[in-house]
A and B are shown apart, each in its own frame.
Chain A
Amino acid sequence: MRTMLPTCSLLLAAVLASLTVAGCSRDEAKSTDAPAASADSGGSAKGDFGPAQGTPIDAVLTAPPNVPPPTGRTAPAKVIVKLDVVEKDMPISEGVTYTFWTFGGTVPGSFIRVRQGDTVEFHLRNLPESKMPHNIDLHGVTGPGGGASATFTAPGHSSQFTFKALNAGLYVYHCATAPVGMHIANGMYGLILVEPPEGLPPVDKEYYVMQGDFYTTTKYREKGHAPFDMERAIDENPTYVLFNGREGALTGDQALTANVGQNVRLFVGNGGPNLVSSFHVIGEIFDKVWFEGGTRFQENVQTTMIPAGGAAIMDFHLEVPGSYVLVDHSIFRAFNKGALAILKAEGPEDKTIYSGKEVDYVYLGDRGQPNMKAVSTAAAAASTGDLTVEQQVAAGKALFAGTCSTCHQAEGQGMPGVFPPLAKSDYIAADPKRVPSVILHGLVGPVKVNGQDYNSNMPPMSQLTDDEVANISTYVLNSWGNPGGRVTKAEAAAIRQQKPGNASEGH
């Protein structure tokens, strides 16, 4: 953390410089919602509005998904924040518990809201029941470590430090005690909003959502207690990717709610520890996104990127009722790891904006019939009589696709360690008659193919006719680098009468 800050300021300076240049060409642009595009906000150098005035104020802290009300202040104040560190078991999914480490007893931690220029007296209190020491690094702090070393607190102790909130924006806070990744993975993150002096434009509803990735030694939704898995965390291979720390934290009865006609604002953070979020609301378009939680907004955004340790503010207006699904659009995370929440909008329909399904009709496409050639090949496969080797191979190919390929795969490559390959197989080369024999009698027990050991159970395929066995065998022998040759119907019939061979024969 300490080494990061100089880099950050350099970057910030570069960004501010480029913004100033870009602003020159459009100095007539006006906006009531944001600082004029021609000027920068001045950053931390212009963020000090002098000493705190009036009596100190106790900050309103809220549990997610709630957000404290706007500060409504016009002068800098002294704000006292008291945040408890709580280690506790909570559900992470239905029937699954996890030992979370939290700021304020929730994941994400309590939402903190102050105004630019405020002086914040911060108290971090580590409960006596805690197992671990903890600290806090607030990204909204100007100063080495963001408060981390000033707040390193043993169980049953409390630390205090004070900072002035010089930069407006939405900032992540997190625990920075070693191993940092593990503390974050266990849920130690939250958001602090530093309002610009004029405040944010008013909206009807504000919600607090934070994404995090979780690593367990158990499988997704495996019932019982799920212990933390350091190895998976290092591999960045999470078991769960969640909004607000629990699968279903914001669905069902806990869904976010709003009414048609309202403006909704989401304060969305990403605690990580590893994944970058592709944050998206299905069925909505963000009217504004204060990307990266900064001063300016982009308009008309579908999906906004939220890095680990970053945040964004997004506003949208609800036109039609229904359920809007919040997802990480890195989409397997949403449907297979839990990164899904619901915003339920109630109110009257407006069919001029969204009709719903209007009609379901038969669609014929440009071709109503299957591939003729393939069908006639399949027909030939079932026929009796004399076929050339080429005809047998063509027929066998269709049959192979319909039965053998499910295990041995379309190109005979098999499945390593489970189903032996048929392609370029030394087992087949050693005795080509093994092909029809194994098809008809199956194969049980250990077998070595191309240097690898297999020990699966292939059942006898006695449901196949002699023609089919002959054609499949001929196809296999003439494919994928196998030695070639032919199996006739009569040979297949004779092999059917034989005693089953031994798997290990010849080895």
Chain B
Amino acid sequence: MRSLAAILLVALPIAGLAGDRPARYAGLPGGTFQSALRYEDAKGGVKVEPFAMMRKPVTNVEFLAFLKRHPQWQRDKVPKVFAEPRYLSHWASPTGLGKNAQPGQPVVWVSWFAASAYCESLGARLPRWNEWEYAAAADETRTDARKDPAWRERILTWYSRPSNEGLPRAGLQAANAYGVHDLHGLVWEWTDDHASMLVDADNRKQGDPETARFCGAGALSMDDRENYAVLMRVAMLSSLQASDATANMGFRCARSAP
């Protein structure tokens, strides 16, 4: 794990991000993982290849640096097909954060296209859902804490807090067992394959024989109904188009192991 992270550090000499901070990415070993989603094609578990993931969600100041290098993604220049009108609307100006966007807060109001472009500019990509779910199964000491009712209750606390308060800074919460912060309790996060969430808009129809909407096996359903946190993430991701942005949707990047 550690050596993987080291390799990735070497492989990512981009944009002067290293500085005196610990490595921006954490290495995760991967393996066979039992998703909370019911995949008819992978009943024995999904295979997650070794990968690296940013320790923290991308922040406002980091995203601003990207926009200065890639001005076509500034809010006054980006084509509507890639980002809806509310894209970065909480910033004071196209290249200025202002008082509603603290530098260390995770960037939100970003579309999937903009998030993907940010990661590509670093030679990275958005994490896949399986990778995200795998990383997010950990708590501070265990790599899979999902069966612990206390842990479940903890991560659900975020969902019961109102979203009209300012976001805390990225990295405020303790890292999980993989060294990754804020997978729960801060923001929703885009995944590369968010559009693979083939969930029926009316989730009550689990068991619906209607399969024509999705070629093949039909809509996904939940295997682990008690894992509400995952259910809500999936519902959120499945409700959005790639150009949409919301007040709580941020992202982080990932890379496959070389």
Contacts and interface: CB of A to CB of B under 8 A. Distances in A.
A370 B166 CA distance: 7
Given A370-B165, A463-B175, A375 B99 contact: yes
Pick from A368, A370, A409 the residue with the most CB of B within 10 Å.
A370
Interface string A447-466: 00000000001011101100
Contact of A464 (B141, B164, B166, B172): B172
Contacts, number: 136
Contact of A378 (B84, B168, B184, B201): B168
B204 interface: yes
B209 A382 contact: no
Interface string B151-193: 0011101100101111111011111000001001110000000
A459 B210 contact: no
B165 A379 contact: no
Contact of B169 (A357, A382, A410): A382
Contact of B210 (A323, A368, A379, A382): A323
A220 B225 CA distance: 9
B168 A402 contact: yes
B185 to A, nearest CB: 6
Interface in B204-245: 204-210, 223, 225
A375 B100 contact: yes
Interface in A401-446: 401-403, 405-407, 409-410, 415, 418-419
Nearest to A251: B207
Helix, strand, loop or mixed for chain A's interface?
mixed
B166 A344 contact: no
B110 to A, nearest CB: 15
B44 to A, nearest CB: 13
Contact of A463 (B141, B163, B171): B171
B86 interface: yes
B225 A401 contact: no
Contact of B225 (A335, A344, A376): A335
A463 B174 contact: yes
B102 A379 contact: yes
B166 A375 contact: yes
B208 A255 contact: yes
Contacts of A368: 86, 89
B165 A371 contact: yes
A407 B140 CA distance: 12
A172 interface: no
Given A327-B204, A340-B204, 6 more contacts: A221-B223, A251-B206, A370-B165, A405-B157, A406-B157, A463-B175
Interface of B: 84-86, 89-90, 99-100, 102, 104-105, 140-141, 150, 153-155, 157-158, 161, 163-169, 171-175, 181, 184-186, 201, 203-210, 223, 225, 247
Interface of A: 220-221, 248, 251-253, 255, 282, 322-323, 325, 327, 334-336, 340, 342, 344, 357, 362, 364, 368-372, 374-379, 382, 398-399, 401-403, 405-407, 409-410, 415, 418-419, 457, 459-461, 463-464, 468
